[in-house]
């Protein structure tokens, strides 16, 4: 038996059938959703953008100025804090008493001009039948400047940032509890769009519909091993390689 015979390519009717099944699943899952929550970095803008690498480099530079060590050693410490605390900032605050305002101002002082306004995404978000909020481990200022550069800042009711979370970062349950309370979000009527799978665990347990936003194949940037996911985890309801296209697939009401 040939390889082609053993592994036949799906025919067009199979693909169409699968697409219809997925469309029905999306329609059913989002039928009662009235609050749409978006992570910012590598979610509302593509992971192929140079914004997050810029921020990542600024974090390393901040730590070099703080500790005076070589960048290789500090990169390892930076990622250790990121994994353990959810953000490098939380680790630096907890273990070294770093001033959060100084840190956030420094690491988010980046050039956003490489981001072009995303009119397709803007139209897709505007068409969603409900409230739209940003939930980020970054700062409100960074979120607003970035959303403004994308041409979508006017579409969001508010930004819930790391300061509003009292510096408790995703994926800690406390970050989501503060978010739900502050914005009167009913988790079972809300959906979260996020690029890191572990940040969807608590929302899924609380009843949110969860969507993992992944880069298209071939456009992935280097990431930590624990950040990588293809969406097979039980706490991921849907996977979106193209955020705007996925949002367009949600039926209007």
Find the radius of gyration of the CA atoms of the chain: 19
CATH number at residue 70: 1.10.150.450
Listed in sequence order, the DSSP H helices in 87-165 are 88-96, 100-107, 119-126, 140-150
Q: Residue 251: what pLDDT?
A: 92
Domain assignment present for 92: yes
Distance in Å from the first CA to the final CA of the chain: 51
pLDDT > 50? residue 4: no
CATH number at residue 231: 3.40.50.1000
Q: List pLDDT tens digits, range 114-130.
A: 999 999 999 999 999 99
Q: Which of 107, 125, 146 is the last residue of a domain?
A: 107
Q: Residue 218: what pLDDT?
A: 60
Q: Residue 5: what pLDDT?
A: 46
In this structure, the answer to whether residues 34 and 68 fall within a common structural domain is no
pLDDT > 50? residue 207: yes
In this structure, the answer to whether residues 37 and 69 fall within a common structural domain is no
87 versus 232: the higher-pLDDT residue is 87
107 near 99, Cβ under 8 Å? no
Q: Residue 182: what pLDDT?
A: 98
In this structure, the answer to whether residues 131 and 94 fall within a common structural domain is no
In this structure, the answer to whether residues 162 and 139 fall within a common structural domain is yes
Tokens of 59: 């974090």
Q: Residue 228: what pLDDT?
A: 64
Number of domains in the chain: 2
41 near 138, Cβ under 8 Å? yes
List the single range of 62-66, 175-179, 183-187, 231-235 with lowest mean pLDDT.
231-235
Q: List pLDDT tens digits, range 59-94.
A: 999 999 999 878 778 888 988 998 888 889 999 999
Cα angle 87, 176, 151 (rounded to 5 degrees) comes to: 75
Measured between alpha carbons, how far is residue 233 from residues 19, 202, 237 in Å?
A: 21, 13, 8
In this structure, the answer to whether residues 212 and 127 fall within a common structural domain is yes
In this structure, the answer to whether residues 145 and 185 fall within a common structural domain is yes
In this structure, the answer to whether residues 38 and 135 fall within a common structural domain is yes
pTM, full prediction: 0.88
Domain assignment present for 10: no
Domain assignment present for 70: yes
Structural domain boundaries enclosing 40: 28-47+117-248
Q: Which helix (H) or strand (E) holds 132?
A: strand 131-135
pLDDT > 60? residue 2: no
pLDDT > 70? residue 26: yes
């Amino acid at each position: 038996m040939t390889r082609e015979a053993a592994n036949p390519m799906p025919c067009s009717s199979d693909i169409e059938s699968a697409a219809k099944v997925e469309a029905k699943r999306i329609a059913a899952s989002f039928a009662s959703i009235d609050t749409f929550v978006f992570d910012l970095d590598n979610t509302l803008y593509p992971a192929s953008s140079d914004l997050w690498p810029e921020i990542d480099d600024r974090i390393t530079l901040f730590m070099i100025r703080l500790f005076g060590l070589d960048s290789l050693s500090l990169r390892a410490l930076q990622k250790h804090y990121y994994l353990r605390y959810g953000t490098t900032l939380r680790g630096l605050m907890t273990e070294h008493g770093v001033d959060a305002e100084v840190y956030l101002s420094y690491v988010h002082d980046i050039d956003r001009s490489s981001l072009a306004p995303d009119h397709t995404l803007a139209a897709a978000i505007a068409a969603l039948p409900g409230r739209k909020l940003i939930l980020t481990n970054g700062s409100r200022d960074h979120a607003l400047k970035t959303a403004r550069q994308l041409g979508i800042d006017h579409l969001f009711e508010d930004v819930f940032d790391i300061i509003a979370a009292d510096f408790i970062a995703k994926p800690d349950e406390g970050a989501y509890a503060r978010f739900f309370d502050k914005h009167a979000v009913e988790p079972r009527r809300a959906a979260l769009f996020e690029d890191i799978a572990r940040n969807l665990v608590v929302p899924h347990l609380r009843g949110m519909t969860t969507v993992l936003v992944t880069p298209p194949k071939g456009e992935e940037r280097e990431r930590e091993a624990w950040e990588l996911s293809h969406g097979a985890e039980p706490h991921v309801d849907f996977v979106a390689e193209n955020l705007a296209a996925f949002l367009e697939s949600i039926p209007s009401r």
